[in-house]
Amino acid sequence: MGKKKTLWETYTPEQLAAANAFCEDYKVFMSNCKTERECVSGIIDLAEEKGYRDLNELLKEGTELKAGDKIYVSNRGKMMMLVQLGECTFKEHINILGGHIDSPRIDLKPTPLYEDSGFGLMKTHYYGGIKKYQWLALPLALHGVIAKKDGRVINVVIGEDPSDPVFGITDLLPHFDKDMRTKPIGTAFTGEDLNVSFGSIPTEDGEESSVRKNILNILKEKYDMDEEDFLSAEFEIVPAGPARDYGIDRGMIMAYGHDDRICSYTSALAQLAYADTVTKHTLVSLLVDKEEIGSVGATGMQSRFFENAMAEIMNLAGEYTELNMRRILSTAKMLSSDVTNGFDPNYASIHDKNNAPFFAFGPTLHKYTGGGGKGGSNDASPEFIAEIRKIYDDNEIRFQLAELGKVDGGGGGTIAYIMGNYNMDVIDLGIPVHSMHAPWETASKVDIYEAYRAYKAFLEFM
Ligand code: MN
Ligand code: MN
């Protein structure tokens, strides 16, 4: 890698300015959108500005869809799809981008609140692959929704405004952590220990005095929430605070949830960039939930949401038949986009340096992911990779082709294999990050912008 130049050196001044401007918007998005729901509503806001319309409304009106029409589909507010019909509508292959918008975090349990020794605490159950010790003694925020029995859904965000209080999980002082210190890192701290400190002031009613009751009074007053409402609430504990520039030269961004909003945001923005033109092929961006826990459930990639929504859109375009549907799924071309494990000099030993993704060299194509002999991976065809190489070389887009890490060193998966089940051409293309799955992850600004360019070129030329 030593002789090749980074994007910092090869970008023109105009490209550098565009990359910086793009990343300013990305930081705003990342600071405001820390749950899958917040990502869906954030992207829908951007799509509506570009003339996208809700599929549900189009269905109600029975609107006939034609080339150039732009549709968004939300699945329970936690997973979504953008579709822009091209000249070919559904008569030729469609081009798909996909990423996930769920990130590792700590969820509240259904009955979370208890009091112990003068503290009001919340029991939690972590979501996705976290290293538990990383979440101790950090400012944390609470994001989520309360679904009331009367049908109202109340949004809650506490800990992001500088005037808000924050929450946290306590750590043990080094003076007295001898037992913890001698244990392996994976067992020193258990999931049941991840209790969030939530309050410390008791109510003022004598013997009945309780911190717990005081917390419930505050929740009632501010959010019209009763204790039973925890049963139908979805509360996520995430790192508090905005995304920020990282490094004295401001070349990187530190944010919560780069995995995988960094690919989801850039994919969605790439598609929205074509809102004012009629493209040749139909464009699709899929932003999915539940990837971090196996792509399961109604809002995960394995659900029938994608094909059901596509069937509705094909039907409104007058092109739905079972056979057409099968053809569209099996001839589609897809970039499944997820972050990759950027080479880190602090942990060089986990990589084969000749096959490692580096910061500032552009998005990374993964022919395969998986682990233990490519287990569980979607192994992309070389013919498909050749098509992508041609598009990127013709349009001067930088990319790398790499592995996640050393053979038998570990592994990881994405949504690629699930789309592969439709028999479509799909390959992983992701942005390198450091500290993946930590509360604060980092990535290079030029990789973010180059990925955006790469998604745009794929949509236009594939
Ligand atoms: Mn991911
Ligand atoms: Mn992940």
Q: What is the pLDDT of residues 343-377, one digit of tens each?
A: 999 999 999 999 999 999 999 999 888 888 888 88
- Local structure of residue 249 (DSSP, 8 states): T
What is each CA distance from 187 to 75, 131, 136, 320, in whole angstroms?
37, 10, 15, 53
Q: Where are the beta strands (DSSP E) in 252-324?
A: 252-255, 283-288
Kindly tell me if the per-residue pLDDT of 455 is higher than 90.
yes
Kindly tell me if the per-residue pLDDT of 101 is higher than 90.
yes
Ligand 2 centroid vs 400 CA: distance in angstroms?
20
Residue from 263, 316, 320 nearest 448 by CA: 263
Ligand 1 centroid vs 405 CA: distance in angstroms?
15
Ligand 1 centroid vs 369 CA: distance in angstroms?
12
The CB-based long-range contact list for 183-192 (8 Å cut-off, 24+ gap) reads 185/131, 185/133, 188/133, 189/132, 189/133, 189/136, 190/132, 191/124, 191/125, 191/126, 191/132, 192/123
CA atoms of 413 and 418, how far apart (whole Å) = 10
Ligand 1 centroid vs 443 CA: distance in angstroms?
14
Kindly tell me if the per-residue pLDDT of 310 is higher than 60.
yes
Closest ligand to 260 CA?
A: 1
Lowest mean pLDDT among 4-13, 59-68, 146-155, 170-179: 170-179
Per-residue model confidence (pLDDT) at position 262 = 98
Report helix, strand or coil for 188. coil
Kindly tell me if the per-residue pLDDT of 408 is higher than 50.
yes
Convert the pLDDT of each residue in 5-42 to its tens digit.
999 999 999 999 999 999 999 999 999 999 999 999 99
Q: What percent of the chain has pLDDT over 70?
A: 99
Ligand 1 centroid vs 128 CA: distance in angstroms?
10
Per-residue model confidence (pLDDT) at position 410 = 82
Of 379 and 153, the structure prediction assigns the larger pLDDT to: 153
Ligand 2 centroid vs 305 CA: distance in angstroms?
21
| Average pLDDT score over residue span 179-197 | 91
The alpha carbon of residue 355 and the mean position of all alpha carbons in its chain are separated, in whole angstroms, by 25
What is each CA distance from 396 to 42, 180, 334, in whole angstroms?
31, 52, 20
DSSP string covering 344-368 = -GGGGGGS-GGG---TTS--EEES-
Closest ligand to 438 CA?
A: 2
Strand 196-199 to strand 95-100: parallel, antiparallel, or no bridges (unpaired)? unpaired
Q: Where are the beta strands (DSSP E) in 171-310?
A: 196-199, 233-239, 244-246, 252-255, 283-288
* Mean pLDDT for the chain overall: 95
Kindly tell me if the per-residue pLDDT of 55 is higher than 90.
yes
Kindly tell me if the per-residue pLDDT of 3 is higher than 90.
no
Convert the pLDDT of each residue in 242-301 to its tens digit.
999 999 999 999 999 999 999 999 999 999 999 999 999 999 999 999 999 999 999 999
Kindly tell me if the per-residue pLDDT of 314 is higher than 90.
yes
Kindly tell me if the per-residue pLDDT of 392 is higher than 90.
yes
Per-residue model confidence (pLDDT) at position 1 = 45
